Amino acid sequence: GDSVTQTEGLVTLTEGLPVMLNCTYQSTYSPFLFWYVQHLNEAPKLLLKSFTDNKRPEHQGFHATLHKSSSSFHLQKSSAQLSDSALYYCALSDRTGNYKYVFGAGTRLKVIA
């Protein structure tokens, strides 16, 4: 079945340094990929989505590129901010039309001053 693998556990960064959270996937079909962000005590919210290759979605300074050749959709930001501290989920949805998500286990990002 489909699966998503993320950078495990906690990533601690100093403010101003670049962010890279890894996401790789396995899917029978060519799926849609998503990044969701969940701040403490809040609902997960969509950060980025990618539907086509060679298209780089960007939001709030974050970007991710879908690479079908390596089955990856890594999340990047050039300069971390304290407010980026949150739990980040990578998810895929196949194209069979049932719209179900398969999530990764999540990566917690902690940005320190």
Partner 1 sequence: DTTVKQNPRYKLARVGKPVNLICSQTMNHDTMYWYQKKPNQAPKLLLFYYDKILNREADTFEKFQSSRPNNSFCSLYIGSAGLEYSAMYLCASSRLGHYEQYFGPGTRLTVL
Single out the residue of 66, 74, 86, 104 in contact with partner 1 (rule: CB under 8 A).
Answer: 104
CB of 32 to partner 1, least distance (A): 5
| Residue 86 · residue 40 · CB < 8 Å | yes
| Nearest-angstrom CA–CA distance, 50 and 56 | 7
Instruction: Return all residues near 43 (Cβ < 8 A) that are at least 6 apart.
Output: none
45 counts as binding partner 1 under rule CB under 8 A: yes
* First vs last C-alpha separation in the chain: 41
100 counts as binding partner 1 under rule CB under 8 A: yes
11 counts as binding partner 1 under rule CB under 8 A: no
Interface residue list for partner 1 (CB under 8 A) = 4, 9, 32, 34, 36, 41-46, 49, 89, 93, 98-106
